[in-house]
Amino acid sequence: MQVLINFGIVIASVAFMEFVAWWSHKYVMHGWGWGWHRDHHEPHNNTFEKNDLYAIVGSAISISLFVIGAWLWEPATWMGVGVMIYGIIYTLIHDGLVHQRYFRWVPKSGYAKRLVQAHKLHHATIGKEGGVSFGFIVAEDPVKLKQELKRQREAGIAVVRDSVGAS
């Protein structure tokens, strides 16, 4: 029974991390943490970005949970496993699939294509204001995202690149 409980904690932690990632992306990375995130939205030829420092923050959270689990409260270990798994998923989807930092594959259909489209639409804004699709695993319908970008452009909330087709 304990194995099922631990497995449930891991799955719940992975799911909760999508909310944490969405919130921190929208309110930290596109807010007071823009200094680290800015270069991720601008063209460059660097292997690493300041934005990669956020991976260190995520790792520190996971490691902290492992330490708490080892010394104080055992379920925190399984939360740390969930945070680590989310980090691996994020790295494969965001850095690998979407930005092709580790491998080259452009999905032609299905959910992988939708993930890529949603994140490309996230990068359609210039600067930190406005924007869409702040999550990393849950990808909204690209048609709805384009409509929202159009609304933001018309309301003066965001500057949207012309190539998006949101006009």
Does residue 140 fall inside a structural domain? yes
Does residue 102 fall inside a structural domain? yes
* Percent of the chain residues past pLDDT 90, beyond the cut: 87
Report the domain count for the chain: 1
Does residue 165 fall inside a structural domain? no
The stretch 44-61 carries a mean pLDDT of 94
Does residue 167 fall inside a structural domain? no
Q: How confident is the model at residue 164 (pLDDT cuts 50, 70, 90)?
A: low
pTM of the entire structure?
0.91
Provide the residue range defining the domain that includes 66: 1-155
Does residue 163 fall inside a structural domain? no
Helices 75-90/53-71 angle, 10° precision: 160
Does residue 18 fall inside a structural domain? yes
Please tell me the distance from the alpha carbon of residue 140 to that of residue 134, in angstroms, as a whole number: 10
Whether residue 43 is predicted with pLDDT greater than 90 in this model: the reply is: no
Whether residue 109 is predicted with pLDDT greater than 70 in this model: the reply is: yes
